[in-house]
Structure 1
Amino acid sequence: MLRSVETRRRIPLTASLAVPAGLALALTGALPASPVTTAPTVDQADETAYVALGDSFSAGTGTRARTDNCYRSPYGYPALIAGAQGLTLDYQACSGATTADVLANQVGALGPETGLVTMTIGGNDLGFASVITECALPGWLSDCHGAINDGRQILQTQLPGRYDAVLGAIAAGAPSADVRVGGYPHLFNGRDCHLLTFFTRSEMDALNAATDELDALVEQKTTGAGYTYVEPRDAFGGHAVCDRTEWINGLSWPIVESFHPNRAGNIAYADLFAPGSGTAEASAVPAERTAQSESTLVRRQAETVLGMDLTSPANLRAARAAGIPTGTLQSVVRDLESGDTARAAAALERLSELDARHEARLGAHR
């Protein structure tokens, strides 16, 4: 049982809110200096109880170390915090979880003995996976901005009440806990460096802006409930998808690893939620093994594009309406189906060029 806040021994910790120091142990290359600011501490006692609630960002999805249907990676930030701070972790976070799932399946783990609660939640309520999937399609097949606006409608009308319900359940279940709720980082830097995703700059800007709106709500609700809001966007700046040092995966295999913080990103999150935790645990986090042969990579890319069914009657009609040469599109698909690595790689390049030309035409008419 944790003693009261007044009588517990507190270990002061500090954190860099720009670049968590622990990444120096996990990544190659020098990290720029950043300001140091005080941050909340994790209280220590003879017996500590830590419950990690939330979604895939809290389950460690993206670290390539799935352990169960919820993912719950040993390299997720809750596991890093527990290891660094000597806490007993009850890992409830689950990939794909919404606020309703937290209420139905996770908060039951809370109790009077719970000393620390961490959580990220809200992205799946807004259709995170479906929005990213829609926006990643070639421009003539997608309605990215429509998908984003559908999510924003839920954010503005329904998510505030859902967040109140979750925070109220935490307060009732763990009345003495130190509760820390995290926001989400920007995923994009304005450049799409992957042949198989077709994000335009305006789409990436809109996705980041939607993240800002979500984080503003999370901060408002969290601080309004008297809890600690954990801000990740500054720390993750310069480490988005396609940055030189990514803390967030781009398109990856298995696909579930895509667009989530990698092991370095979870070290960063650990330092933000419990300063010093990422630094303490970074040396115990092995490097991710992501290298693939060129032929394997091209084959997987070809299979992904073929799964888009680009030459279905409906998709060919959409391409024709957008001014995309359907003959070229059919030729691309034939080359992807050929099984020849060189032909498939060239076809992927042609498809990317088609999308770039489509975006340029749209820009010229705006």
Structure 2
Amino acid sequence: MGRPELSVPGVTFSRSQADVAHDIAAQTEASSFTDATCSGARTSDFFSSQAPGVAPQLDAVTEHTRLVTMTFGGNDEGVFSGSFFGCATISSTDVTGNPCERTYGPTFTDLIENQTYPHLVAALTAVRKKAPAATEVILGYPRILPAIGQLSCYRSMPIAMGDVPWLNHEQDVLNAAVSRAARETGARFVDMTPSSLGHDACQPAGQRWIEPAIAPVNAFPVHPNALGEAAMARQALLQLGH
């Protein structure tokens, strides 16, 4: 089972053939696997249809399932779309400052702690109930932005310089919530932050694992590209001992 990813406004449903699920299935030579990934998915889409004709993601899990891989949480409560894309719309008012942080303050981190976290626990618990013998793996999000704002990156990632550390903190809070939910439910957490440093959306093609908001090459804006998906699969397999 695959991965809901970073959301893009207006995108209802999309699935890549070069994602974590496909990469892991290929490398482990799985006899069978089901990819239930959906771009823009939320934890609620585990339990109900995300789009017409699309089954709830939890339907892909059965008592015979042996490995479930997931990345989700960033779309819940509109956290990533509201912050990363929302900040892009107001950054021009103060490119060197922190207009987004001043506008939203702790809004998104509060949503993560108070709403996203219990949703994560509920979804992971539901997977465990349907597939009690499965190894359940949830991956954290790779680093989207560099450590500090870079004016040279503004054309492709229009985030005000002072808002970059604020958004990085938000991502840290989300990944911590994912890790905590994994511990609570007996799932395995794969931390993508250390290995993804230096591969953020501001890096050149061939080095970045996340495509920028403007002119992405082979993935939706602010989504992992093929290199990023492969790196996430590699980290998951390393932690699983493969």
- For 1:104-253, what aligned pairs fall within 5 Å after superposition? 104=48, 105-127=56-78, 128-137=80-89, 138-140=91-93, 143-145=99-101, 146-147=103-104, 149-189=106-146, 190=148, 191-192=150-151, 193-195=153-155, 197-244=157-204, 245-253=207-215
Q: Which residue in the other structure is 1:267 paired with?
A: 230
Amino acid at match of 2:211: N
Distance 2:15 2:157 in 1: 27
- Shift of residue 143 of structure 1? 4.9
* 1:99 and 1:122 in contact (8 A); partners too: yes
After superposing the two structures, state which structure 1 stretch, 207-216 or 254-263, moved more: 254-263
- For 1:1-366, what aligned pairs fall within 5 Å after superposition? 51-52=1-2, 54-56=3-5, 70-87=13-30, 88-104=32-48, 105-127=56-78, 128-137=80-89, 138-140=91-93, 143-145=99-101, 146-147=103-104, 149-189=106-146, 190=148, 191-192=150-151, 193-195=153-155, 197-244=157-204, 245-253=207-215, 257-275=220-238
Q: How many residues align?
A: 219
Per-residue CA deviation, residues 202-234 of structure 1 (Å, 9 max, x unaligned), is: 211111111111111111110221111000000
Amino acid at match of 2:184: G
* 1:134 and 1:147 in contact (8 A); partners too: no
Per-residue CA deviation, residues 156-197 of structure 1 (Å, 9 max, x unaligned), is: 211222112111111111111000001112211122414264
- Normalised by the length of structure 2, the TM-score is 0.81
SS of equivalent to 2:177: helix
- Shift of residue 126 of structure 1? 3.9
* 1:182 and 1:230 in contact (8 A); partners too: yes
* 1:148 and 1:206 in contact (8 A); partners too: no
* 1:108 and 1:173 in contact (8 A); partners too: no
Per-residue CA deviation, residues 120-146 of structure 1 (Å, 9 max, x unaligned), is: 111001421232122113342895223
Distance 1:69 1:259 in 2: 15
Per-residue CA deviation, residues 54-112 of structure 1 (Å, 9 max, x unaligned), is: 3126x9x9xxxxxx963221111111111111122211111111111122211122111
SS of equivalent to 1:176: coil
* 1:103 and 1:169 in contact (8 A); partners too: no
Cα distance, 1:72–1:196 mapped onto 2, change above 3 Å? closer
Decide which structure has the larger Cα Rg and report it.
Answer: 1
Distance 2:211 2:76 in 1: 21
Q: Higher strand share goes to which structure?
A: 1
Gap runs ≥5 in structure 1: 1-50, 62-67, 280-366
- Normalised by the length of structure 1, the TM-score is 0.55
* 1:194 and 1:251 in contact (8 A); partners too: no
Cα distance, 1:100–1:254 mapped onto 2, change above 3 Å? same
> Taking every aligned residue pair, what percent have the same amino acid on both sides?
26
